[in-house]
Amino acid sequence: MHSTNENLREPALQVALVLGGLALLASVFLPYWQLKITAPQYPKGLCVQVYLNHVEGDIREIDTLNHYIGMRPLGDAAKLERSLSLAGVIAMMFVLLSAVFYQGRFSVLLLLPVAVFPVVFIGDLYYWMRDFGLNLNPHAALSSSVKPFIPPLFGQGKIAQFKAVAWFGAGFYLSSFTSLVSAAVIALRLFGSRESR
Amino acid sequence: MKTNRCKRVMAAVAAAALFFSSGGSVLAEEAKKSLPSDSMEAAHRRGLTPDDIYAAVSTYVPSGQYDEYYMFASGGQSGQVFVIGLPSMRLLRSIAVFTPEPWQGYGFGEKESATAKLPMSPDGKPITWGDTHHPALSETNGDYDGQFLFIGDKAHGRLAVIDLRDFETKQMVDNPLMHNNHGAAFVTPNTEYIVEGSQYAEPLGKTYAPISQYKEKYRGLATFWKFDRQKGRIDAANSFAIELPPYWQDLADAGKGPSEGWVFINSFNSEMATGGIEEGNPPFEAGTTERDTDYLHVINWKKAEELIRQNKCETLEGMKLITLKTAAEEGVLYFVAEPKSPHGVDVTPSGKYMVVAGKLDPHVTIYGIENIKKAILTKDFEGRDDFGVPILRFDAAKVAQVELGLGPLHTQFDDKGYAYTSLFLDSAVARWTLGDDKYKAPEKPWTLVGKTPVQFNVGHIATAEGDTVNPDGKYLVSLNKWSVDRYRNIGPLLPQNLQLVDIAKTGDSMKVLYDLPIGVGEPHYAQIIKADKIKSWEIYPEVGWDPLQQRKSDVVALEGKIERDGDKVDVYMPVIRSHFDPEHIEVEQGQKVTLHLTNLERTLDATHGFCITGYNLSASLEPGESVTLDFVADKPGVYPYYCLEFCSALHLEMVGYLLVKPKSKG
């Protein structure tokens, strides 16, 4: 006997997968991570918006300032990841769509990369922040006053005279939604009580 | 007595405290009840009167907050324009116009500034100063539009255009017919023309004629410079001038509303005195003031424009010129008597009246445009002058006279129906009522309401947007020539004294609020514009901006490189905190070096300066700006070049070396 709930589950999952796909698509156009730094002479602050495939904001000024502490230009970070990101999103959308039409029990595991995607993003971001922050040019002008550091991934921090605040952007939350949908689909299709599929 | 004064202080403080209403903070709420006790203590300690406290809280602009108005004041002999915030009276910047100015890098290098094409003096040397008198903001429908500022150079008969997107001079034109001006600049209601009236008569075309031929050969001039708003440039080819009798024309104003199409210019030597004190003749100061009246010039510029279109003009030194004869015959020029050696003529906000300040007569005389038009139509003339110009009957053109005091010079207006006239000899500003104008004062028309002493010898006055169709009232600035005892002594050259006067309330209530010493020049006239009308740039729109052309430069130095072609060396030098690239420039003695500098910065206030030691070159590179500097490396040696603005922690390290190798012999 199937409950009415269980009869409705698959259509609900299908709708969720479609929404997840749309959310992932939309996330491409929104920042995943943002950082704002403020100092007395920058009352409006300087901002960085990290998108999946590019970086926006006061990059020129931040790079200008960073060269004093020996940090590489922001554009040098995660070049490979950024160049692959759109292909990755397309691949993930393909997986999401195929999961709508093909509801095989184990093929659902193809959704795993989608489910872990936001975590991978954070991990990669952290890797680059660490790499940039810890590998400062020892010959830089301010090398004796600004020691290697890791910028904050989330919340507040301090970099030289700047106060820094970092937070995740709408793109990240949209992809997190997609991730949760994928996780739910995996869990329900793998372990849901449906023998007579 | 003391308690009484204390009470008065408290009362004034309570009233004054209302000015603290900033954004509903707790402190501001507290201040609404009374001044904090430490403020009262400070006021007592410093011996401030209730009026002083009122003045202080009326003018103080806290750090980080902005002034409500910009005032543009001429700099007189400094050849500059000063930008001053109101009500704080803080000097915000000077704008280099006719004088090289190193902070702005103005006047150094061939392509850097409008002085690049400086008119040459007869000995072939560039003229390196000017005498700025009357700034004029561009207008749309008789109201300031905040786009451009024009200013005349009395000493050389020049006119300059300043673009208010970056507060920098873009153009100067040299009048080909005269060496001097005074009635400049004044704009027509839509800035179709910028009026430049001459002052001291000369033979037109900058030629020679003996003073004995003064009446025959010497002339005055009204030049109408066509302004191309799109290009932000004066269009000399479509400009024209009108020949005037040698009456020493003075200030001018353009009509608006019912008087649109007319320009009014005063004169003060209708005697045609030619001086010659050394020959026993009456000196100019006596000769020019002999008669009780001079002539207000009433010029129909729309008619003049028509004559130019019909080619009823001559061309002299490339300038289209309507002759005095044509002007008199064709109804371009009329005169009306005006008492006596007057200075300013100012059109009221409605455009119905022209106020002429008597200077040597204690009255202001008010003429009506309808009266003038009617007198012209009915040929209600007193006669014609020696040059055949019709003289309108004084009583037909005049509407009223108001006795104000001694030495009336200039008149401005407010939004309450008052006119304000400076009284030079009285050292005072008079407030009086206009009759049937745009605004209606509570007192009866054409009467003196009150006078406020100013310190001292007031010349021009400026009220907020006070010569437009919509004056703001609120503030008046008295531009005083003498400061005498107002400041600590700084030697025998004393600063000018600009005083802010509160004109917000009606009646005899004007109060001086603030004194601003100007120790860098002599402002004559000023105009005050609501700050939000000016939409200026924070940084230049693109990297590689050429401010003189207001577009991206053809040459942008994004990468450092040196190109050599024979004796010509082109250096492309990007500039960013905290380095120039290249840092070594090696040239041979005698080579012609062109530096193409581009400031790559996109950050507010990230300005770099540039100079080469020993080479008399200075540049200012605002964020995004490109500058070209030319010089001949004629002196062998080693010359550090460095950043002139303390741009960053490594500013001192922002340096390079110009190495000029001595020319090898043989």
Q: Which amino acid is at B544?
A: G
Closest-CA distance, A34 to chain B, in angstroms, reads 20
Query: Which pLDDT does position A118 carry in this prediction?
Result: 96
Spatial separation of the C-alpha atoms in residues B45 and B268, rounded to whole Å: 52
Closest-CA distance, B577 to chain A, in angstroms, reads 7
Task: Say yes or no: B377 contacts chain A, CB-CB below 8 A.
Answer: no
Beta strands in B468-624 (DSSP E): 473-480, 496-502, 511-518, 526-530, 545-546, 551-552, 561-565, 568-576, 579-580, 584-588, 592-599, 608-612, 617-621
- Which residues lie below 8 Å from residue B566, measured CB to CB, with a gap of 6+? none
The DSSP result for B247-306, as a single string, is S-EEEEEE--GGGTTEEEEEES-TT-----GGGTPPPHHHHTTSSSEEEEEEEEHHHHHH
Confidence of residue A109 (pLDDT cuts 50, 70, 90): confident
Which residues of B fall within a CB distance of 8 Å from A64?
A: 576-577, 601, 603
Q: Which of B576, B605, B649 sits opposite A64 (nearest CB)?
A: B576
Average pLDDT over residues A102-127: 91
Residue among B65, B577, B608 with most chain A CBs within 10 A, to mutate:
B577
Query: Domains of chain B (ranges plus CATH)?
Result: 2-48 (no CATH), 69-97+132-533 (2.130.10.10), 545-661 (2.60.40.420)
Judged by DSSP in three states, B149 sits in strand
pLDDT in tens, B60-104: 999 999 999 999 999 999 999 999 999 999 999 999 999 989 999
Compare B5 and A59 and report the one with higher pLDDT: A59
Confidence of residue B119 (pLDDT cuts 50, 70, 90): low
Closest-CA distance, B648 to chain A, in angstroms, reads 10
Percent over 90 (pLDDT), chain B? 88
Given an 8 Å threshold on Cβ–Cβ distance, is A61 in contact with B602?
A: yes
Which residues of A fall within a CB distance of 8 Å from B540?
A: none
For residue B117, is pLDDT > 60?
A: no
Q: Which amino acid is at B29?
A: E
Task: Say yes or no: A64 contacts chain B, CB-CB below 8 A.
Answer: yes
Judged by DSSP in three states, A8 sits in helix
Query: Do residues B574 and B559 touch, judged by C-beta distance below 8 A?
Result: yes
Query: Which pLDDT does position B15 carry in this prediction?
Result: 44
Closest-CA distance, B602 to chain A, in angstroms, reads 7
Q: Which amino acid is at B84?
A: I
Q: Tell me the torsion sign for CA atoms B168, B174, B175, B178.
A: positive
Given an 8 Å threshold on Cβ–Cβ distance, is B603 in contact with A61?
A: yes
Tell the residue number behind the tokens 């600004």, with chain if given.
A146
Query: Which pLDDT does position A161 carry in this prediction?
Result: 87
For residue B407, is pLDDT > 90?
A: yes
Q: Which of A41, A60, A68 sits opposite B650 (nearest CB)?
A: A68
Average pLDDT over residues B341-368: 94
What's the token pair of residue B540?
A: 């230049």
Q: Which of A41, A60, A142 sits opposite B602 (nearest CB)?
A: A60
For residue B465, is pLDDT > 60?
A: yes
For residue A62, is pLDDT > 90?
A: yes
A 10 A CB-CB count for B170 gives 21
Query: Which pLDDT does position B305 carry in this prediction?
Result: 97
Q: Which phi and psi angles does B388 have, rounded to 5°?
A: 85, 10
Of residues A76, A97, A93, the one with CA closest to residue A85: A93
A 10 A CB-CB count for B265 gives 27
Task: Say yes or no: A60 contacts chain B, CB-CB below 8 A.
Answer: yes
Average pLDDT over residues B304-323: 97
Query: Which residue on chain A is closest to B600 by alpha carbon?
Result: A60
pLDDT in tens, B157-209: 999 999 999 999 999 999 999 999 999 999 999 999 999 999 999 999 999 99
pTM of the entire structure?
0.90
Average pLDDT over residues B481-486: 96
For residue B219, is pLDDT > 80?
A: yes
Confidence of residue A7 (pLDDT cuts 50, 70, 90): confident
pLDDT in tens, B502-561: 999 999 999 999 999 999 999 999 999 999 999 999 999 999 999 988 999 999 999 999
What's the token pair of residue B558?
A: 């994004």
Tell the residue number behind the tokens 């402190």, with chain if given.
B27
Spatial separation of the C-alpha atoms in residues A139 and A68, rounded to whole Å: 10
Compare B110 and B162 and report the one with higher pLDDT: B162
Residue among A61, A62, A143, A162 with most chain B CBs within 10 A, to mutate:
A61
Q: Which of A41, A61, A141 sits opposite B650 (nearest CB)?
A: A141
Average pLDDT over residues A67-85: 95
User: ipTM of the assembly?
Assistant: 0.81
Q: Which of A41, A58, A64 sits opposite B577 (nearest CB)?
A: A64
Query: Which pLDDT does position B423 carry in this prediction?
Result: 97
| For residue B640, cis peptide bond before it (omega within 30 degrees of 0) | no
Least confident of A90-94, B49-53, B116-120, B468-472: B116-120
Closest-CA distance, A118 to chain B, in angstroms, reads 33
What's the token pair of residue B156?
A: 């050389």
